[in-house]
Amino acid sequence: MPIDLHPQPRHRAGVATGLRFAIALLATASAGALAQGTATSGAPAGPTPPAAAAEPRPADFAACLARLRPDALAKGVSGEAFDRHTAALAPDMAVLGFLDAQPEFVTPIWDYLAALVDDERVADGRAMLAQWAEVLAKVQAEYDVDPATVVAVWGVESDFGRRFGKRPLLESLSTLSCYGRRQSFFRGEFFTTLKILQEGHVAADKLNGSWAGAFGHTQFMPSTFMRLAVDFDGDGRRDLVDSVPDALASTANFLKRAGWRSALPWGFEVKLPAGFDASAVGRRSKQPASVWASRGVKRADGSPLVQPREANAGRGDAALGADTPSAILLPAGPQGPAFLVTRNFDALYSYNAAESYALAIAHLSDRLRGGGPFAAAWPTDDPGLSRAERRELQTLLVKLGHDIGEIDGAIGARTREALKAELAKRGIESDGRAGRKALEALRQTAHAR
């Protein structure tokens, strides 16, 4: 979800560089919800928000809206639009809990990627590539961003349109404009949302999304929508909710403006030599690819890092030149998989400022092109679970008598508490993490009954 919570956004190639507030991910209801229930895309999972402050008096909220009206009009919102869309608004105080909430459960990157880049999402993504091939070809011709990358963003952000978020944007953003911290920022998003409605791009009853205001197939913030959303289906509206072509093209436009270059790969997995000095790694520590090659870095299959273009015909990493600025990324430390990343990885990072998020997009795009899992294993003896395995774990908990709510593959607080309780019966201490060992323990328990 492209968002910047700074009043003065940082820009890369004219595009806000993503969420820079708290943990970069407390705002979306997509990638995080899939990875960890209440979490958002990124290594730290989102918390269950604390109880909100006392309910405000209706007069307080109405008075705030009245104070905001002149500012909204100064930003281009008509008085008629403001009055019509705010007349029946009531504050949603629950959203305030997210502003100051701290993560109560940290998701290991192998759990995060196991859920976001599983066989199910790969199959769905390939189906979307086929279904929308004609549109994606036109998007690529216009914005020079390949179909697999665009579809990967779509898959991670909303599971190909299945998860938009359920909070009415007007309620959330008006509340955040009147209460809590960051009121100035959220007022800008609130006013922009009113302009989106005023211009007729999206109907008010369909403008639902995350608590912070991200909405649509690829979860744009209102201000990002106003800058970068495009009308690609030619109906006169920029509709990221009901128009897949508009959403895909808008995403490609974002990435292009964020610095995406079709002649480059995002990067790829590499193999580091023994004794490699890891002090110089990190996304910002870029060197020409030839420098990394001279230090013994090779591709994951052991082949040279820099190769003639013709040697890699058909591969996504074909265009890595010797002088290509690139960095080494070690998302799980020196014992885990290593990656060489380019400016295209930075473009993905700008969409939602977390390296784990960018890696999920990058890896899913490779899988959609026919690539396989990473060559190196994550440094754990308890791998993460796919969404199908998470649903199995939840089903087993229900069969064992636990009330966890919907069986949806999203591991939230209720699932974690039930898992802790069930494992405790077996003498297994657990923090509620849903890993392979926990699933196997539940399978054995259910089988023994």
| Residue 377 to residue 104: CA distance in whole angstroms | 26
Shared domain check, 129 and 18: yes
pLDDT tens-digit map of 140-182: 999 999 999 999 999 999 999 999 999 999 999 999 999 998 9
Per-residue CA distances from 133 to 126, 129, 136, 185, 361 (Å): 10, 5, 5, 38, 19
| Residue 430 to residue 424: CA distance in whole angstroms | 7
pLDDT tens-digit map of 284-319: 999 999 999 999 999 999 999 998 654 444 444 457
Provide the CB-side half-sphere exposure for 336 (13 A, CA).
Answer: 15
Q: How many other C-beta atoms lie within 10 A of the C-beta of residue 37?
A: 25
Shared domain check, 120 and 155: yes
Asked whether residue 28 is assigned to any structural domain, the reply reads yes
Percent of the chain scoring above 70 in pLDDT: 83
Closest by CA to 139, choosing from 5, 319, 260, 316, is 260
pLDDT score of 20: 31
* Residue 280 predicted with pLDDT over 80: yes
Region 22-32: mean pLDDT is 39
Shared domain check, 275 and 250: no
How many domains are there within the chain? 3
Domain termination site, one of 257, 286, 315: 257
Shared domain check, 414 and 289: no
On whether the pTM is more than 0.85, the answer is: yes
* Residues spanned by the domain of 282: 267-341
Region 101-116: mean pLDDT is 83
3-state secondary structure of 287: strand
Region 388-395: mean pLDDT is 98
* Residue 25 predicted with pLDDT over 90: no
pLDDT score of 326: 97
Region 43-52: mean pLDDT is 42
Percent of the chain scoring above 90 in pLDDT: 78
Asked whether residue 229 is assigned to any structural domain, the reply reads yes
Question: Tokens 């690609």 — which residue?
Answer: 232
Closest by CA to 87, choosing from 168, 170, 26, 210, is 170
18 touches 351 (CB < 8 A): yes
Closest by CA to 169, choosing from 225, 218, 217, 222, is 222
pLDDT tens-digit map of 54-108: 555 657 999 999 999 999 999 999 999 999 999 999 999 999 988 876 555 678 9
pLDDT score of 308: 67
Shared domain check, 223 and 96: yes
Q: How many other C-beta atoms lie within 10 A of the C-beta of residue 236?
A: 10
3-state secondary structure of 353: coil
Shared domain check, 176 and 115: yes
Residue type, 194: L
* Residue 30 predicted with pLDDT over 70: no
Domain termination site, one of 325, 341, 357: 341
pLDDT score of 18: 33
* Residue 258 predicted with pLDDT over 80: yes
Shared domain check, 271 and 252: no
pLDDT score of 104: 58
pLDDT score of 103: 59
